[in-house]
Amino acid sequence: MDAFYLLAVLACPVGMGAMMWFMMKGNRQPGATPPPQDKTAGFAGPDPRQQELDFLRKEVADLRAKADSRPEAPAQEHTR
C-alpha cells in the first residue's frame, strides 16, 4: 500500500518532466543552430527601459533640488 502512495506522489513530477522533455525535443530541428541573441531586437527606437530610467533619474534630481531649497521645519514630537 505504501508503494501505491509513493507512486501517486511521484506521478505528477515525473509526468511533468517527461512532458517538458518531449516538448523541448519536438522544437529542435536536426542540424539547426539557434538564432543569435540580439538585445536590441524588436526595438524600433531607443530602449524604453532606458527612457524610463532617465525620466526617473530626472524626477529624483528635481525632488532633491526642491527639498534642498526648502527651509528646514522644526522637528515635531510624536506623542501617543
Residues 8-63 pLDDT 10s: 888 989 999 999 988 888 766 666 666 666 665 665 677 888 999 999 999 999 99
Q: CA-CA distance, 15 to 9, in Å (whole number)?
A: 11
Q: What is the pLDDT of residue 78?
A: 66
Q: What is the pLDDT of residue 3?
A: 85
Cell 513530477 sits on residue: 13
For residues 38 and 2, the model is more confident at: 2
Q: What is the pLDDT of residue 47?
A: 85
Task: Reply yes or no on whether the pLDDT at 4 is more than 70.
Answer: yes
Q: In whole angstroms, how far apart are CA 17 and each of 29, 55, 75?
A: 21, 44, 61
Close Cβ partners of 75 (under 8 Å, ≥ 6 residues apart) = none
What radius of gyration, in Å, describes the C-alpha atoms of the chain?
29
